[in-house]
Amino acid sequence: MSTTADHRTRHAVVRSALGELLLTGTGDSLTGVYFEGHRHPPAPQHLGPRVEVGDDPRAEVLRAATQLGEYLAGARTVFDLPLAARGEPFQQRVWHRLRQIGYGQRATYGAIAEELGGRDLARAVGAAVGRNPISIIVPCHRVVGRNGSLTGYAGGLDRKARLLALEANDVLF
């Protein structure tokens, strides 16, 4: 893996109801959505040039910013973006499974582990969920503990609770 950004890599920083979001993309695909204080942010040398609102509206990071704004306003329940998260094969399997959790629904780490090979994979599932680089759009906030408790979120438990409340129509941003 290169230590510098691919020539097609770019990023945008957008304000949201959850604080600033760092969006990264390569080519025509979104590669990351990170919160301020994110547990596993990208290295600065991997960001590429910054894209600003008003630049190419086809830029994946700007399309993502628009769709995230619609989601946080309660006007979008499904994202329509090409994604290209980088990760190990098991992480990719977990992230694929996360995308199957519908808006307003929840899954447990244990249930996902069972689906992917057995309960003994629950910790590995938790680690993969925690490394999800495309927050919100790959909905890791919809994964909860076995008793429904809010456990772990790279963007912080407060944000996880707010996202779940938004999807339950309990709160508006």
Point out the residues that are catalytic.
Answer: 140
Give the span between the Cα atoms of 155 and 56, in whole angstroms.
Answer: 28
Distance between CA atoms of residues 78 and 71, nearest Å: 8
User: Is the CB of residue 51 less than 8 Å from the CB of residue 10?
Assistant: yes
Tokens of 101: 């959790």
φ, ψ at 14 (rounded to 5°):
-130, 145
Q: First and final CA of the chain: distance in angstroms?
A: 39
